[in-house]
Amino acid sequence: MNRVIFLIDMQTFYASVEKADFPEFRDRPLIVAGDPKQRSGIVLAACPIAKQFGVLTAEPLGQALLKCPQAVIRLPRMQHYIDISTQVTRFLNQFTDLVEPYSIDEQFIDVTNSQNIFGSPWTIARKIQHCMQEHFGIYARIGIGPNKVLAKMACDHFGKKNKTGIFELNRKNIERYLWPLPIGELFGVGHRMEQHFIGMGIRRIGHLAQYPVHLLRKRWGVNGELLWRTAHGLDHAPVSPGTFTEQKAIGHHMTLPYDYPDLKDIRVILLELSEEVAYRARTKHYMGNVVSVGISGTFERHTGFHRQIKLPFATNFGMDIYHATNLLFTESWDGLPVRAAAVTLGDLQPASANYQLDLFAHHEEKEKLSSAVDTIYRKYGKTAIFRGTSLMPSSQLRARASKIGGHFK
């Protein structure tokens, strides 16, 4: 039996949740946006009515209000959105136990073995659409395919644009529907790769599908062949409910409220990021020995860098991560203002596993200190105890303590 995979996309998810919770806004243009006083004052979601006025996701809120001054503005409630997304996952489990969250507003499900109970793929899709509208107030667009990559492209390129909100893409119709699309529309092709392809005369997905695969492999290795296979609708990846149960890295990114030009202020941010990453690692019972730092310059200059270093021992202690981060930053910083920073701990392993000890790392002392700090965090919050540098004006600790992913809970 051929597999039947759905990609379920929740239309303008944040805005839809807000309208479901506040029915009085149902017929009004609504925008969910970050704090306009901070750099995060950008459009995170705009309902279909707001989009009719030209409002775009990720544009500055001020620019959006020039297009649609009558719009209702809602601050994001990230914890609530996460809770609703989790409820949607449980709802989809009524149709199949093979549900894989792809993002907060997208989920893959495998309904291959559900057809004997619920009917044909289109019958199941329409039922899911109806039930999600009824129970959550959310309109779902659904892509149907024999694998995840075709289901994803069916939803993105066709399901979101037709009246039914449902589209099926399979190996019988990809030449008609998928191949005529511009090469940049192929899943996995970014802007830089798109320019490479166009320079080679590969302007449409069909051109790539008909290009000699051995030449693609010669130029780009495995990735070249992977994109060729994607153009042919080939994908054997299963829908995996446990995709996010094992992590390979834990990171934290912060866009700053203004450009930081001074080293001492940037180091405050790097320390706070390091402590946050360490706390998350301990919470999930991981240790890691690869530390990486990513820096972005100002919006005008688009400068920055990404560097990593492998430690001689595994750790989940904040200062270990910070010392590595600070070393990487100091060696690579060009002295230009910083607008965003990220710190990541990689090469994760269970904290209970056997690992190489450093005789001079004082592991037991760090473990006891971290355990005490975590207990305080859990009981009183992350602002109950912090390092003295977080009293500096450049600190973002208290501003972000009440947020999730940089947005209001």
Residues annotated within a binding site for Mg(2+): 9, 105
319 DSSP assignment? H
Q: How many angstroms separate the CA atoms of 141 and 165, rounded? A: 5
Who's near 260: CB < 8 A, 6+ residues apart? 266, 269, 337, 338, 339, 394
Instruction: Name the residue among 134, 230, 160 with its Cα closest to residue 189.
Output: 230
Is 364 considered catalytic here? no
Q: Spell out the alpha helix ranges (H) of 284-407.
A: 318-332, 363-380, 397-401
Q: Report the half-sphere exposure of 48 (CA within 13 A, side-chain side).
A: 9
Q: What is the DSSP letter of 376?
A: H
d(C-alpha 61, C-alpha 56), whole Å: 10
Neighbouring residues of 313: CB distance < 8 A, sequence distance ≥ 6? 289, 355, 356, 357, 358, 361, 363
Of the residues 24, 59, 100, 106, only one is catalytic, namely 106
Burial (Cβ within 10 Å: 0-12, 13-18, ≥19) of residue 142: buried
- DSSP labels, 250-298: EEEEEEEEEEE--HHHHHHHHHHHHHHHHHHHHHTTEEEEEEEEEEE--
The binding site comprises: 9, 105
Distance of alpha carbon 120 from alpha carbon 105, whole angstroms: 24
Question: Taking a C-beta distance cutoff of 8 angstroms, is the pair 297, 303 a contact?
Answer: yes
Q: How many CA atoms lie within 13 A of 202 on its CB side?
A: 27
Please state, in angstroms and rounded to a whole number, the distance separating the CA atoms of residues 405 and 409.
9
Selection from 83, 112, 86 nearest residue 97 by Cα: 112
295 near 364, Cβ under 8 Å? Answer: no
Cross-sheet strand order for the sheet of 140-145: 99-103, 106-110, 5-10, 140-145, 166-168
Residues identified as active-site: 106
